[in-house]
Structure 1
Amino acid sequence: MIDLPLLSTGELLRGIVDEVTEIRARDYAVMQKIAELNRRGAAAELGYKNLQDVLRHAVRWDKNTAKRWVEQAALLSSEITLTGSEVAARLPIAAAAAAEGAVSIDHVAVVAEAMKTLPAEREGQMVDYARQFAPAAVRVLGKRLIYALFQSDPEPRDPEPESARNRLTLRQSKTGDWKLAATMDALTGAKFATLLDPLAKPRPTTAEGPDPRSLDERQGDALAELVDLTLRADQLPEHGGEPVTLTLTMRYQDLAEQIGAATLDNGEPIPADQVRQLACSAGIIPMVMGSRSQPLDVGRRSRLFTAGIRRALVARDHGCAFPGCHRPPKHCDAHHVHHWADGGDTRVDNGVLLCRHHHTLIHRSGWEVTMEHGLPVFYAPAWLDPLRTPRRNQLHTAA
């Protein structure tokens, strides 16, 4: 029996990782047995309607759990045809990863859902991602890969009427208060959120403690302040040292030819025709990009990250660069990869966008970030990944 108090924190975490891996491998072994029961028609043999009902009684699973295990077992196991020949598993790469204990049944479910639409050659990419991240992050990657696959398809000929896309209900109550409810299309909503976000941040902690307001209260106060700012059009909230900017990224050729789509800084795709309309009334900041989408010449050297350098980081990172994070640029700080205090310069190739959570993590934990070929690359602490495998955030670049 191991005396747990004698183990270091890293040893305890490594032990958890190893044991969860063993549990997942045993889960895969269970699924193989379930698949074999299904192949031999065990439900009919035992007088049940289906195998889910057998398992509900055998291991006391509820209906949805039993159904999920039977479905995943079918995806990860080979099948025997009526002629006796063996057909490979529908998700062979996911099956191999599950056998190793590298992915869970929840990961398999997410990969299977995405692979209903994605071509077979994308299974490897999905499983590689599942080996590193939680099912929710893998689901986001799958959605973005699917959108990238079909983004150049022609838009529907009969779009939803414009009047139905943006709606605002504004009513004044008998007490004099106003109540409103709104529905916005993707582009309008993104612009509104971009304006509201810097005004809705929690107030700095004081001697009286942290900001006591809830998110809804902060956003309500921010809307009130936004109304005042609108009445003073020469005073606008700022992000990163410049007036509020909504960033869209797309190839210039696609913009000119009105094909494909642009990507908002929150990852939302916007059709090219809407981008062209927006460009008629918005400033356009061109950037020269390299073959790996790294900005080549924006901004200038300064102790603090200037607006020009931040624009370049937004164009390159598209949001928090930490692997698996989907936070948009407006929620990110610019971080010196080689710290300023240690002699690092303020340059595009020494900066990376990180959300507040991951910015703190980089400063205080065993995670490390380096710049390789002009792009940020992350390395997990040894307890999480003894091989220190390089990682990048694929969510922002999936499309």
Structure 2
Amino acid sequence: MNNVVTQLEGLDETLAVLTRDAFGREVIPDLSDADVAALLAATGRVQRRLEALQIEAAVQVQERSAPMRDDRITLTYGCATAVDLIRMLTLVDSRQAHRLVRAAGFLKRTRSITEGVFLPARYPALREAVTDGYLGLSGLLAAITPLEQARARILDDQRLDADRRLGALARGIDTDAESDASIGRGPLPTPEDLGLLSQVLVAYLDPDGAEPTDDTATRKRGLTIGRLRDGTIPVRADLLPEVAGQLQLLLDSLLNPRVDGPEDLSSTGGVHFAPTDDDASVGTDADHGLSPVDSRTRAQKRHDAFAAILNTAARTGNFPTLGGAAPTLVVTVNADDYATGAGHAGVQNTGDLIPARVAAQTGCAGGIQRVLFDSQGRIVSIGTSARIFNALQRRAITLRDGGCIIPGCTIPATWCEIHHVREHADGGPTHTDNGVLLCWWHHRNLHLSEWRIRMNGGVPEVRGPLWWDREQRWRPAGRPRPQSPPRHRQPATA
């Protein structure tokens, strides 16, 4: 076996002994702050050197997987592509394997046909920084990606000059912008630092590059709403950066926890989010006073926030009218199905079917118009019910509740809907004593959850699931009110 592989396997055995000893004797928890920092720095150096070897090995995998070769290494190991082979041998995910293959393409060298020596790589200075252990995979790709995006508009000499500057920065060498001469040394850069310098160099070398990119983006922009499939409708969008930025701000305003509360939220019953699919899974213990766990995935939270944004926009009255009225979501349902909560309702402008209970939630947040048909389909009666909370009522309920009244929910009042605590169909009045603020998600799924709401003297109260409150007590909801201090009677004097 080659000496490089033999030595690397020896290093692996050494690291195995080291890690077993460190974890077996619980060495790391007793390290000082300086030793923990040194440990991270040392593992970073080792990781960068290992990534350099992986990139060079990926170069060979690519070359030995060429379609014209009969002895392709991928066939030998039973893999379809170079990425699959790298993924199986290194036990990394597909994304990391793709990154290794991509880096290999930038650093590979070809042999001269006449002399048999290696010709320089496309980015020779960055390759040297990688082989010397100064630069890892993330830093390499951060430095190269902006240059490759402008590849068609940058000359070879300009690319090599940018490579020299980036290679010097990767080693911590500061260079003069005019002469390219070294003017000192600084700390080793992060991948973000390298990416920023690369973007600056591209902006200098290709000042007109952004304009054609923007023209392409303008032509490419679009929003497509698909057809109903498995209960959902796919939406695909190519948004311009400023549009995506505005949408992200609105989503962040709904998804971020409140920041004006106490620092130790867990000890005060404040907001407590459970990690989504991107994070580890944790539970909640009611005995520790934690607020309810939000079990939605990150994508589901964004969907619900987007639904709240649409509903809020529809309430503003600032949109053009359709048919003489504001854009109004119309959901039709048979009276019997609405009364029983069974069956399906139809969304008028798409023709899709939704459960009757969803129609009830839509009607609770909006209004219901009764249209009576005779047996021949003729309209014989048109009526409406005054079930929509007016602006004054909404303002008063907002002042009382402050936001969604379900504990742990941070959706502010602006984005909330008003829920009839006692359903309007059951005789519940459209009155401030019967309306509470709920976010779109909790309003739509209240009947499916274990949360219960009641009004007590015009004040909303909630009772949570057993796992949240083992005592199953009704607890006041909404915005806390300051209490006046009790008056102390002055002692009588003789």
Q: Which structure has the greater CA radius of gyration?
A: 2
TM superposition score normalised by structure 1: 0.37
TM superposition score normalised by structure 2: 0.32
